[in-house]
Structure 1
Amino acid sequence: MNTPFFISWRYQRGKQKNRLVSLISLFSSVGIALGVAVLIIGLSAMNGFERELNQRVLSVVPHAELYSYNGNENSPIQAGKKLENLANSNPNVTASSPFVSFTGLIENGTQLKIAQVRGVDPVKQDKVSSLSHYIPSEQWQAFHQQGGLILGAGIAKDLEVAAGDEVTLLLPQPTEDGKLAQPLRFSLPVTGVLKLEGQLDHSYALLPIEKAQELVEYQPNEYSGIELALKEPFKVQELQMPELANFNQPLYLNTWIEKFGYMYNDIQLVRTVMYIAMVLVIGVACFNIISTLIMAVKDKQGDIAIMRTLGANNSFIKRIFLWYGLLSGMKGALAGIILGVILSLNLTAIIKAIEGFFGIKLLSDGVYFVDFLPSELHWQDVAYVLIATIVLSLFASLYPATRAAKLEPAKVLSGH
């Protein structure tokens, strides 16, 4: 066994003459453990949010949408099937689906709820998004076969309706003079409920595309736009579509980044800030090692003097206390890793239990895109945290270890 390591290990396990050394060493290890645990938990939460962004948002919202561009006026794409075929010929597009969208009021008795209604083709919609995964399969099948209206879970809850009920859809009636007119009213059955556990539950409703075209008086080949699924959604801003250059209408490309990109940017920003903040916390805890080692050097100066008289050189003494500081940091880091990993793997359940016990909701699905705290542990994050702790512990040990190596044995022994 490496002799300096063995001696430092004995110093760590043995009783200190000065109990204050043991107390400061304990506080240092606890501080490092808490910093490491919090950093692992925080990074796991950010990983969880990024996973949910990919699975719940990017799998549901369109990666890109093509609209007709006609100044401030809303006008349909007139040659919809031609545009769909052109879009599908792009090598970066994996699938496309036409849609008809409009804003309407949904009424049930005295309850009113505004919704973004989207008419979709169920078969094509399954190719561009995973919306159907968040709707009971029998309800999605009924929507495919019988039509009707699928409501977001938040809308259904506010209107106090469920699958099988009927609601009234109110649409503004266009007038030539621009005056307000009695809204158009359509009675529609509720076929199903969409539950994403996020923002879209409170604003989204689905209709079969044929029914939506009928309600807004579009022709069968007229659409509000075309949804696109891409091979690489994170490179959507680099998307080029030269196939559309000669299309007979001006078009506008809207991407998911314009609607939800702030979420991804916020996650990356918080992750960076968390790295910096927690490394500083661990750094402060590691620098308690300086105090511990300085007092340990003073406590062990008799031993140091004896080892020097027996032939130990400066490097030997220095390595003893470098190992001493490293072991102090490693004890805290390992304790923090164990605590952080256990809590990270059970974070969602723990937060749900806290919410249930206190009767509070930490994340509102009306504000965030999920209504729970997700967590996903990445072992490379654990490795980075461990490496950072080791480096900081070694750095904090340098000064006391160098000071120990410079002790003069004659002066020390003359005082004993």
Structure 2
Amino acid sequence: MSYTFTDTFVDDCHKTAFRTCYDSYEYTVMPFGLTNALSTFQLTMNDVFRDLVDKCVIVYLDDILVFSKTQEQHLQDLNRFFQRLQQGRLITKGSKCEFLKSELKFLGHVVGAEGIKIDPTKITTIHDWKPPTNLQELQSFLEFVNYVRRFIPNMAGTTGPLTDLLRKGNSFEWGERQQAAFDELRFFLMSPPPTLTVSGFPLTVSFANLLIQEVHDSNFSGHFGVDKTQKLLYHFHYLSDSASDVQRYVSACLTGQRMKSSRQRPARLLQPLEPPQKPWQHVTMDFVTGLPAGASGNDAVLVVVDRLTKTAHFAPSCTTILAEETAKLFISTVVRLHGLLSAIISDRDPKYTSKFWQETWEQYGTRMQFSSAYHPQTNGHTERTNQTMEQLIRTNCPDPTRWEEFLPMLDFSYNNAPSATTNHSLIFLNYGMDPTVPTTTNIDNPVP
């Protein structure tokens, strides 16, 4: 409806004529679809708000943002804005307006005092995006990425493997490089929304902020975090609602952000794994390395954990094992006892991402699932089992170099221990009966 506020020159009305079954008609206002409609309407809006543009008003076609430093100033700016609307014979629809907001959506972004962020609804879109299967789907994905390119560091380098597929003469072959680039882009965009800081302006400084600055930034204070800064402040001063002020000041401290960078990757949207329906349908696997090499030269252990019962198998191995040898070891350790699996979950070790490993399990219908980069919690079952197995080796092997001799019994001991969740051993959960051990050999079987 915005175009209808722009009149068409009388001499040009005949150019917009159209015929119906009743009569011929001409537009007296600007219709949709004309080649220069967008630029003409933008020019009209710029003329209406000419003295306010980039001072307190941003205009993009019919999307208008009024911004101010303070609430009092904002009310004055709104008054000037509505005066310009009236002078330009323009109206706004109340249901589409938002007033006195510290943060709002504008042109596909979230704009606020802290900066410009990606719209969370677009993060949901990238979460559900499947790997492209043809050039049209790839172009659609790259168009979306290009829209948010300002939030992606080294975008040209990251998207290189994807843009190569668009070059003339190149066939569409989706490989490991393309999948890695696709995953990296999705991971970054699904992380907590990146923020672009905007140019600041002088603020009214309160006495409370000066006190917090002195307590936090002084050489006698040490740039500590929120809790310690607040306690130091309480020693000498009382400020109402100081907790939020201290939190805001410390979180914005540039020195602290540079020198106390987080050691963890930011969390992203959770992608829960599909729950298994029966034992040994889904397993997780990992290698424990760095063990003392024994007579056989083995210095690692392959750990495989059933996701449903938490049963584990330990197999001696070595750090230099290749994908082919890993497949043989996995078959002799797991498939020999439990048959083929529906899914194997592992980290992104080159052994598991190799073409041989993936094609081997693909022919058996086993799906490979990889844990997120820098997020070992995805493979948490195996990580926790690794810790328990290492503890068993330390407590049960008098000679660390002979751990391989004790490994079969450690495997048995781990699976024979009662689970804190079910109060049954893992062996019982697999076979429906507890194994015979020395403490039960002299006990008569109960009479049925």
**Aligning the two structures, in what range does the TM-score lie when normalised by the shorter sequence?**
under 0.3
What's the TM-score, normalizing by structure 1?
0.18
Larger RCO (CA within 8 A; separation ≥ 6): 1
More helix by share: 1
